[in-house]
Amino acid sequence: MLLTLFAGWGSWSWGTKTLNLQDSGNVMSGSKYALCATLAPYGAVSLKSNIPFTLDGILGLYIHSTGGATTSSNTSFSLGDLELQFESSAPSSYTISRSYTLSELLNRQGWIDGKSPDTMLHNIESNGWESLKVQMGGFAPSGTDSAKYDRITLGSCLQRFDLCTGKTVPDIYLCLDKLVMVSGG
């Protein structure tokens, strides 16, 4: 079932113990609400747009979490292991982009902003809000330059099964706010 979250976007999420728009508590200053979820192991927040988009733009959002491991180990999955990917749900051209982990995205962001990725990840995990700007072009699979996507998915064990195999995958609580996408079409 498609849950309408805000104009033009709905939830196609799975494996969520909670998924709601919070109007207090975890909301950033200046915001009315934040999208918050508790992901069960192998769960994901997947947001579907009613307007398809290409990957020639930028996705911006703020993210925060509370609890959970911030660093991977041989036995446990961490917040930084969450993967972001884009998907097309059009049956005639179903496409899934490459995925990048939150740690990989923060590493790129930190390099640009002059911040330590570990510090940024720790801030997110400690109930702080951290800005994330993602160049979507790096996600496009070879030969799919003109593909249209309609979903943004952030979850555990989407494509990088090596991050999950033989590890304990905990519930992960996170919130997203001020999600903005600028795309060429």
Set out the domains of the chain in order of their start, with CATH numbers. Answer: 3-182 (2.60.120.430)
**What integer pLDDT is reported at residue 91 of this predicted model?**
63
pLDDT at 85 over 90: yes
**What integer pLDDT is reported at residue 179 of this predicted model?**
83
What is the spatial distance between Cα 16 and Cα 98, in angstroms, rounded to a whole number?
Answer: 22
Of 139 and 89, which is predicted with more confidence? 139
What is the spatial distance between Cα 100 and Cα 91, in angstroms, rounded to a whole number?
Answer: 24
Backbone phi and psi for residue 83, each to the nearest 5 degrees, phi listed first:
-110, 145
Mean pLDDT of 50-64: 87
Of 80 and 77, which is predicted with more confidence? 80
Of 1 and 179, which is predicted with more confidence? 179
pLDDT at 68 over 60: no
Confidence class for position 70, pLDDT limits 50, 70, 90:
very low
**What integer pLDDT is reported at residue 109 of this predicted model?**
83
Mean pLDDT for the chain overall: 82
Separation in Å, CA 103 to CA 2, 27, 84, 181: 29, 23, 11, 21
Rounded percentage of the chain residues whose pLDDT exceeds 70: 84
pLDDT at 111 over 80: no
